[in-house]
Structure formats: structure tokens, C-alpha cells
Amino acid sequence: MSILNADLHCHSVVSDGTLTPEELAARAAANGVELWALTDHDEIGGQHRAAAAAHAHGMKYLTGTEISVTFADETVHIVGLGFDADDEGMQRGLAQTRGGRGNRALEIAAGLAAAGIPGTYEGALKYAGNPALISRTHFARYLVETGVCRDTGEVFRRYLTEGKPGYVPHRWAGLKDAVRWIREAGGVAVIAHPARYKFTANEEYALFTEFKAHGGGAVEVVTGSHTTAEYAKYAETALEFGLAASRGSDFHSPGESHTDLGQLPFLPQQLTPVWDLLADRIQ
Ligand code: AMP
Ligand code: MN
Ligand code: MN
Ligand code: MN
């Protein structure tokens, strides 16, 4: 069934969101979400809380995470859904992926200090609900709080993206490893928000080809950062590569995210919803 209010992509204070898993569950339920997944970056520490909160609000739940991967020198995000949250291989892989974030944050702060903005490591850390998961988003919130920029979008544009003073190149997990961790834990791997990557057509083709070859199962077609034209484009790509389709807002925060939980068009009818592949993993 494509006509299901599933929201399978969002973030809590366990990564770079501003709401707790319980607050997100309440908000998702109030917006009519029927099937929910919390997908914190490189972290599954919120999964048991999220499942319990989903059930308390009468929603079905799929476990989730969003793994940072490096492919063709770009950062790509792979969402994992329906895996066993207690799987040791998955936990080890994610711990390894998180491991580089502390030093990266210090380097980001050094770059910003050199550009005349001191104290951002301590500032960002104040915003990190989980000190093991310090992200660029936490720096962005601190730079907004201190009046350096008007909103987080401006911080990314001026300070945190390639070529800017707070940008630090980083090597994340490999695509093959991330897909393997998810699959070996019983889940399905999903390419997150494909339209967001700055790939040439050839690189994008290589991403989908390799993802499929490694056992990847789905692509996010309907997501907060895609346009209507991009829904159609990636619906085609899903069919071309024999991938199922996912739907998720990528909600982070009431003040920052323009797409709220559950407030997206339904998946195009001709696609196989990713939750059809995960019927026995729905809690
Ligand atoms: P990190 O994993 O530390 O590299 O941070 C990546 C996160 O930064 C993404 O998951 C988004 O939440 C956020 N982000 C990336 N680009 C932007 C942008 N242009 N504007 C606002 N937030 C962004
Ligand atoms: Mn994020
Ligand atoms: Mn992402
Ligand atoms: Mn996300």
C-alpha cells in the first residue's frame, strides 16, 4: 500500500534534532503518522525509547538510523530501516563512524577561530544532546545564537561547506560496509535524499549501481528536500534499478525544518513501498 502516512526519516536530540524521541513521537502522531522511524545520524541509542513512544501513541514503528558514508569523495547518507537495534555488528560499525566526530569538531572550531570566531567547540557542544554525536548542525545553532548568522542555512553557506573556513573534509564509512551492517542486522538499506548530492549523472549512476550490487533495497523518493520534479525523477530511478521507495520528512526541529513530520505527498502508486519489504520487522 502506497497510501500510508509513513514517516521514515527524522532526528532527535540523540543526533542533531532538537526534540526528544518522545516529543517527536507525540508530534508525528498528532500529524497523523501511522508508521514511524527515528533515524538519528550514526546512532541508534534512541531506538528503544522511540519504539515505546510510538506504541504509546498508537503508531507502528520501524527501527532506523542514517549512516554517513563517503562515495566518490562526497558524503552520502544511507538510511537503515527495520534492523535489530541490539545487533553488535551494527553497533560496532556506528561507533566507528561516530569516532571521528570529536576531532573533526575541534578542527572545525580551529578553522572558525582562524576566521575570527572563537569558542565554537564549547558553544557547539552545549547544543549537542549527545556529546558522541557532535555535528555541523550544532555549530550552526551556536553561530545563530551568537548572532554571527541569521539562520542555520546561512551558517552552512558561509562557514561549513566546501571551501569555507569551518569546512573539514572527512572520510566516513564505505558504502559497502554501511549496507552490510544494515543487512546483517536484518534491515533494508535506503539511499537518503538522492537529489541533495552534487554528483554528475555518471557518478549518480555508479552510486545506484554499486548500492544495488551491495544489496541495497530502496531509495527515498518523497523527502522534505525534494521538489515535485525530483519525486518523479527518483520514482523513475527506483523502477530502473528495481529498488523499493521510502518516504520521510527529515524533520530536525520546529524552528528549522520546513517539512513537518508526516506532511508530505504519498508515494507514487507504481512504486513498491519500502515497508512492504519489512512487513515482518514492523513493531
Ligand atoms: P554532519 O553530519 O556533521 O556533517 O552534519 C550534517 C547535517 O547538517 C545534515 O544532516 C543536516 O542536518 C545539516 N545540514 C547540512 N547542510 C545544511 C544546510 N545547507 N542547511 C542547514 N542544515 C544543513
Ligand atoms: Mn541532520
Ligand atoms: Mn541526510
Ligand atoms: Mn536526515
| pLDDT tens-digit series, residues 81-130 | 999 999 999 999 999 999 999 999 999 999 999 999 999 999 999 999 99
Alpha-carbon distance 102 to 95, whole Å? 12
Mean pLDDT confidence for 234-260: 97
Q: Which residues pair with 77 in a beta bridge?
A: 68
CATH of the domain at 129: 1.10.150.650
C-alpha separations of 111 from 106, 107, 160, 240, 251 in Å: 9, 6, 10, 43, 28
Tell how far the Cα of 279 is from the centroid of ligand 1, in angstroms. 31
Answer whether residue 169 shows pLDDT above 80: yes
Residue 213: pLDDT band (50, 70, 90) is: very high
Ligand whose nearest atom lies closest to the CA of 78: 3
Give me the count of residues in the chain: 283
Tell how far the Cα of 218 is from the centroid of ligand 3, in angstroms. 15
Q: Which of 10, 14, 16 to mutate to test the pocket of ligand 1 (most atoms within 8 A of CB)?
A: 16
Does any domain span residue 165?
no
Mean pLDDT confidence for 221-245: 98
pLDDT mean across residues, the chain? 98
Answer whether residue 159 shows pLDDT above 90: yes
Does any domain span residue 1?
no
Answer whether residue 273 shows pLDDT above 90: yes
Ligand 1 neighbourhood includes 255 CB (under 6 angstroms):
no
155: its cell numbers: 551558517
pTM of the predicted protein model: 0.98
Ligand 1 neighbourhood includes 41 CB (under 6 angstroms):
yes
Alpha-carbon distance 212 to 219, whole Å? 10
Ligand 1 neighbourhood includes 275 CB (under 6 angstroms):
no
Q: Which residues pair with 246 in a beta bridge?
A: 220
Tell how far the Cα of 18 is from the centroid of ligand 1, in angstroms. 14
Examine the domain organization and report whether 79 and 194 are in the same domain. Answer: yes
Tell how far the Cα of 58 is from the centroid of ligand 4, in angstroms. 24
Domain of 247 in residue numbering reads as 6-97+171-281
Does any domain span residue 166?
no
Which pLDDT score, from 0 to 100, does residue 1 have?
61
Residue 56: pLDDT band (50, 70, 90) is: very high
Residue 257: pLDDT band (50, 70, 90) is: very high
Answer whether residue 45 shows pLDDT above 90: yes
Answer whether residue 2 shows pLDDT above 90: no
Mean pLDDT confidence for 193-215: 98
Examine the domain organization and report whether 129 and 208 are in the same domain. Answer: no
Ligand whose nearest atom lies closest to the CA of 172: 1
Q: Which residue owns the Cα nearest ligand 1 atom 12? A: 137
Answer whether residue 248 shows pLDDT above 80: yes
Q: Which residues pair with 191 in a beta bridge?
A: 78, 219
Examine the domain organization and report whether 179 and 268 are in the same domain. Answer: yes
Identify whether the C-beta of residue 155 lies closer than 8 Å to the C-beta of residue 123: no
Number of folded domains that form the chain: 2
Answer whether residue 7 shows pLDDT above 80: yes
Examine the domain organization and report whether 140 and 111 are in the same domain. Answer: yes
Closest-lying ligand 1 atom to the alpha carbon of residue 152 = 21
Q: Which of 135, 142, 154 to mutate to test the pocket of ligand 1 (most atoms within 8 A of CB)?
A: 135
Which pLDDT score, from 0 to 100, does residue 182 have?
99
Q: Which residue owns the Cα nearest ligand 1 atom 11? A: 137
Examine the domain organization and report whether 255 and 177 are in the same domain. Answer: yes
Examine the domain organization and report whether 51 and 177 are in the same domain. Answer: yes
Closest-lying ligand 1 atom to the alpha carbon of residue 11 = 12
Examine the domain organization and report whether 88 and 120 are in the same domain. Answer: no
Cα angle vertex 123, ends 121, 124, to 5°?
70
Examine the domain organization and report whether 47 and 69 are in the same domain. Answer: yes
120: its cell numbers: 565554537
- Which of 43, 53, 8 has its CA nearest to residue 277? 8
